Amino acid sequence: MKVLLFNGSPRKNGCTFTALSQVAATLNAEGIETEIVWLGNGPVRDCIGCGGCAGKGKCVFTDDSVNEWIDKAAGADGFVFGSPVYYAHPDGRILCIMDRLFYAGGSSFAQKPAAVVVSARRAGTTASLDALLKHLTIAQMPVVSSTYWNMVHGSNPDQVMQDGEGLQTMRNLALNMAWLLKCIKAGESAGINKPKTEKKVYTNFIR
């Protein structure tokens, strides 16, 4: 079993990475393979709603790594999406990327356990969690929780490492993720398969 952890911070080894590393270390101790994927800090396209990805499982824009990450996601069993908090919302880069990941490659994420973690100096964390969690729920992903909201606080990694409650929240999140992944695997071995949901109905005329 493998969990992909997406680091949506422009700082590769900053506060968000510190939080994700706590999750990854605990997952590893539970026998779960992990990979932290840094989304980088260069230019990235946002989704323009062109519909070109329909039926392809790929984004039509190929000048960045989004399609590579979709391929990685197809082979993963669970996910953690991490972001810093800017102006009480997630980093714009991870929002753009997640829009494209889920529009173009939604089948690679559907019905797999996932969580969101955020890092902040002080506030804006719950609003940021809310924005990112919506990607998970529309993809039918079991949302993994912890013993507090999935957040850490600090202006730099050293301060995050002093946030004992936040670090504990990351570790407990990982324990819950590992437990759920093992339960799903046991269920599949017992013949319990993922539900086949109804074909989507669009009621666009309702305002």
Q: CA torsion, points 152, 11, 43, 78, in degrees to nearest 10? A: -50
Q: Dump pLDDT digits (tens) for 7-28.
A: 999 999 999 999 999 999 999 9
Q: What is the pLDDT of residue 14?
A: 98
Tell me how crowded residue 43 is: count the other CB atoms within 10 A of its CB: 8
C-alpha dist (Å) from residue 110 to 90, 143, 203: 22, 12, 22
C-alpha–C-alpha distance, residues 80 and 23, integer Å: 9
User: pTM score, two decimals?
Assistant: 0.95
Tokens 């799903």 locate to: 184
C-alpha–C-alpha distance, residues 157 and 97, integer Å: 24
Q: What is the pLDDT of residue 188?
A: 95
The pLDDT-based confidence of 207 (bands split at 50, 70, 90) is: low
C-alpha–C-alpha distance, residues 150 and 131, integer Å: 13
Q: Dump pLDDT digits (tens) for 79-103.
A: 999 999 999 999 999 999 999 999 9
Tell me how crowded residue 158 is: count the other CB atoms within 10 A of its CB: 10
Q: Dump pLDDT digits (tens) for 117-173.
A: 999 999 999 999 999 999 999 999 999 999 999 999 999 999 999 999 999 999 999
Q: Is 207 exposed, middle or buried (0-12, 13-18, 19+ CB in 10 A)?
A: exposed
Q: What is the pLDDT of residue 100?
A: 96
The share of the chain scoring above pLDDT 90, in percent, equals 89
Q: What is the pLDDT of residue 43?
A: 87
